Amino acid sequence: MKNSVRLPAFAKINLCLHVLGPRPDGYHELRTIFQTIGLRDKLELSRTAHPGITLEVNDASLPAGPENLVYRAIDSIGGEIGFRGGVHARLEKRIPVARGLGGGSSDAAAALIGMQRLSGKKLPLARLMEIAAGLGADVPFFLFGGRALAVNRGDEIYPLPNVPKRTILVVSPRNISVSTRDAYQWLSAELTNRSEPHRIWGFCALCWSRRGAGISNDFEAPVFGRHPRLGEIRDGLLKRGAADAALAGSGSAVFGVFRNPAQARRAARAFPEDSAFVVETLSRENYGRALRWRVNG
């Protein structure tokens, strides 16, 4: 049992993201390959003498109550692990918000992991996945990290072999944010013209091979149509040496894959008005070591 724990909460990119169509439950059927990257938030959880949850966030635009996924994650798992007493959470945000990088989902997963470390108790993976999926479709992935195939709503996770480490330049555009709800609405018209859904194994073979090619994202056409500058950022990354580039999730961040950090840093100079992050992909093993966490079946 610990008095406090500190954890990183890493961002993700989607190496491939295909939306097959709406589901009866109101969500959409997805086929995507997630990859964690080194861009991270920081979360600290501490025991308090008084019961209840308090949350401190360094970004004033984010809620610090039950609307925040970290708060909800702590509340959801506390009873499951028999946690007694109170918890104070301090969240330091660095992952840009509403940019398709999964920061909120990663924060929630870090809170689930942190609460287990704080209490010294560990839930069965199946139950932990249920809690994670109840918080958000991307949250289960962040219990694994690395590279993984996700299907259904994006909450059914199949870890994939790691690929060699790559340098990623993430460009978060100034004053452009895209809500996930809006992005799906924009994509809806295109889904009616979609041909036969992709087969899973064919999809895996096409998505980001070990040579680094094959990145694709179904959201690009509708999102770039409404925010042309995002398409210009992608093209600018390719022009400056990226092996491939794409929208991150439903946007609005755009990322490029580069041969090395020096090349990525040179490319970043072309976007002085935006936030640019030069990071590397993170394997599942390094992800687990960083969070001091190992998934048990």
Percent of the chain as helix, strand, coil, to the nearest 5: 35, 30, 40
The yes-or-no answer on residue 41 being catalytic is no
Give dist(CA 153, CA 24) in Å, integer. Answer: 11
List 216's β-bridge partners, or say none. Answer: 16
Copy the structure tokens of residue 34.
């997630």
Structure tokens at 112: 């689930």
CB 170 within 8 A of CB 10: no
Judge if the upstream peptide bond of residue 252 is cis by omega within 30 degrees of 0.
yes
User: How far apart are the C-alpha atoms of 249 and 57, rounded to whole Å?
Assistant: 24
Question: Could you give the C-alpha distances from 10 to 54, 206, 244, in angstroms and in order?
Answer: 22, 25, 22
Q: 62-71 burial by CB neighbour count: b if 16+ within 10 A, else e?
A: bebeeebbbb
Q: Is 12 a catalytic residue?
A: yes
Of 64, 270, 80, 94, the closest CA to residue 171 belongs to 270
Which of 41, 107, 138, 155 is catalytic? The answer is 138
Active site residues per annotation: 12, 138
